[in-house]
Amino acid sequence: MMRIAIIGDGIAARSLLYNLSLLKSEVIEVHQFSSSKISSCSRNSTAVVAKRATQKGISELGNLIVDAYNEFESFLENFSGAGVDTTSEYIIGKSLESYQKKIKPRYAAVYEEESGDELIELCINHKQKFFKEKAYLIEPDIFLDSLKSIYEKKLSVKQVEDKIIGQDNLTLQGGKSTYGSFDNIIYCMGSIPQFVVEEKSQPVAGSFWQVNQENEKSFSLNCDGHHFMQKKNCSLFGSTSNANSVSMNQDEVEKIISQLSPLVQQEYLIAEGEFKTGIRYKGKKRMPKIGEIGPNTFCIANLYKNGWSLAFLAAKKISRQLKV
Binding site for ligand FAD (CB under 6 A): 7-13, 33-35, 38, 40-42, 44-49, 163-164, 188-190, 206, 208, 278, 280, 303-309
Least distance (Å) between residue 144 CB and ligand FAD: 9
Task: Evaluate whether 301 touches 283 at the Cβ level (below 8 Å).
Answer: yes
The DSSP bridge partners found for residue 225 are: none
Spatial CA neighbour of 18 closest among 189, 188, 147, 142: 147
Spatial CA neighbour of 188 closest among 30, 60, 24: 30
Spatial CA neighbour of 60 closest among 310, 287, 300: 287
- d(C-alpha 294, C-alpha 185), whole Å: 9
Q: Which of residues 46 and 184 has its CB atom nearest to ligand FAD in the complex? A: 46
Least distance (Å) between residue 316 CB and ligand FAD: 15
Q: Which of residues 129 and 317 has its CB atom nearest to ligand FAD in the complex? A: 317
Report the side by side order of strands in the sheet with 226-230.
48-50, 131-138, 84-92, 219-223, 226-230, 234-239, 202-212, 274-282
- Number of neighbours of residue 121 by Cβ within 10 angstroms: 9
Least distance (Å) between residue 186 CB and ligand FAD: 11
* Enclosing H/E stretch for 4: strand 2-7
Q: Which of residues 41 and 293 has its CB atom nearest to ligand FAD in the complex? A: 41
| Dihedral (CA of 268, 272, 278, 284) sign | positive
Least distance (Å) between residue 278 CB and ligand FAD: 3
Q: Which of residues 21 and 302 has its CB atom nearest to ligand FAD in the complex? A: 302
Q: Which of residues 65 and 260 has its CB atom nearest to ligand FAD in the complex? A: 65
Q: Which of residues 21 and 46 has its CB atom nearest to ligand FAD in the complex? A: 46
CB hemisphere CA count around 217 (13 angstroms): 13
Spatial CA neighbour of 288 closest among 306, 273, 274: 306
Least distance (Å) between residue 272 CB and ligand FAD: 20
Task: Evaluate whether 2 touches 184 at the Cβ level (below 8 Å).
Answer: yes
Least distance (Å) between residue 274 CB and ligand FAD: 13
Q: Which of residues 154 and 163 has its CB atom nearest to ligand FAD in the complex? A: 163
Least distance (Å) between residue 310 CB and ligand FAD: 7
